[in-house]
Amino acid sequence: MSRFPTVRQRRLRRTPALRRAFAETRLHPAALVLPVFVKQGLQGHTPIASMPGVAQHGVDSVVALARTAVEAGLGGMILFGIPTTKDAEGTGGWDPQGPVPAAIRAIRAEVGDELVVWADVCQCEYTDHGHCGPLDAAGRVINDLAVEGYVRDAVAYADAGADLVAPSGMMDGQVAAIRGGLDAAGHEQVGIVAYAAKFASAFYGPFRDAAESTMRDGDRAGHQMDPANAREARRELDLDAAEGADALMVKPALPYLDVVAAARAGADLPVAAYHVSGEYAMIKAAAANGWLDGERAMAEAVLSVLRAGADQVLTYAALELAAPAEER
C-alpha cells in the first residue's frame, strides 16, 4: 500500500466543493420524519418548554405544519395524540373522532398523498395511569389486552387514511396481531413500521411532557429493552421482521448506533431510527448556553444516524435540517 507523500488524504478535503462531492452520507429532507403532537380541542399551538422549537398542535395547526413539511420535502410526519379524557384501558386511542384520526383526515384533505403520514400506536398517551396498556393487580401491563388495543388503534388510523402505523408499545406479538387486524379490515396496503428495538431509556423525559404521558408510578423496564442488551435487540428485530413488519425501528438513536448498524447489516427491510426528545433537547440546551454550535451539532447527530445505516430518521429537527445549510 502506498504511503505519504504519494498518498495525501487531504486532497479530497481541500475545498467545500470537493468535500460535498465526496461525502459518503448525505442529509436529505426525504430521509427525515417529523414527530408531531396533536392535542384534542386545542386551537393553534402551545410551545413545549422542555423542547425548544416544538409544540403541541390543534388540528388546524397540524394542517399548516403538514403543508410546510410537503414544501420542505420531508419524508413524512408521525402523529402522537393527546386526548381530552383518559381511562384505564386507553380507549381514546381508537376513537374515530380522536386527535390522531381527526388530524389524519384533515391532512389528507389539505395535501392528499403528497405527504407520508405515520401514526404512532400505543396507549401511554390515552391511559390515566400513563402505561402502555391495561394493568394487572400488580401494576404490570397485560400484554395481550394491550395488543388488542393496538389493533383497534391501528385500524382506526388506517380508516382515517394513515400510510403507516408504528406500534411502539414493545408488547410481544404486536406486529403479527396488527397485520392481521389491518388485513381483516381491508387495509392490506397500510404498512407497519415496528419499533422493534425500543430501549427503556433515560432520554424520553421531554417527550412525556409533550405527550402528557408521564406514568403515575412504576416504569416501562418490564417491556422496553434493557440498554445493556444488543444481542437481544437483534432477536427483537428478527422477530418483528418475521411477524410481517414492513420496516424496523431502533429507539433511541445516538446511544444505540451499534444496534442501528446491526439492523442494517442483518435485515433487508428499511431501517428507521428515532432521534428522541432528550437527544434533541440536550443539543438545544447546550446551544442556548453557548456551549456548542447547535446547528452544526444537530446536523452532525442526525448525519451519524444515517451513517450508521438508517434509511429514515425521526427527528424534531426535521424542518430545520431540511433547510439549505446556508439558511440554517
Q: Which among 132, 109, 248 has a CA at the least distance from the CA of 200?
A: 132
Who contacts 113 (Cβ-Cβ below 8 Å, separation ≥6)?
A: none
Q: Which of 39, 86, 198, 284 is catalytic?
A: 198
Report helix, strand or coil for 154: helix
**DSSP character string of 285-328:** HHHHTTSS-HHHHHHHHHHHHHHHT-SEEEETTHHHHHS-GGG-
**Residue 284 appears among annotated catalytic residues:** no
Q: Is 251 a catalytic residue?
A: yes
Mode of pairing for the β-strands spanning 164-167 and 191-198? parallel
End-to-end CA distance of the chain: 41
The C-alpha R_g of the chain, in whole angstroms, comes to 20
Measured torsion, CA atoms of residues 169, 42, 112, 80, in degrees rounded to the nearest 10: -10
- DSSP label of 199: B
Contacts of 204 (CB under 8 A, 6+ apart): 252, 276, 277, 278
Strand intervals (E) in 73-206: 76-82, 117-121, 164-167, 191-198
Question: Which sequence positions are flagged as catalytic?
Answer: 198, 251
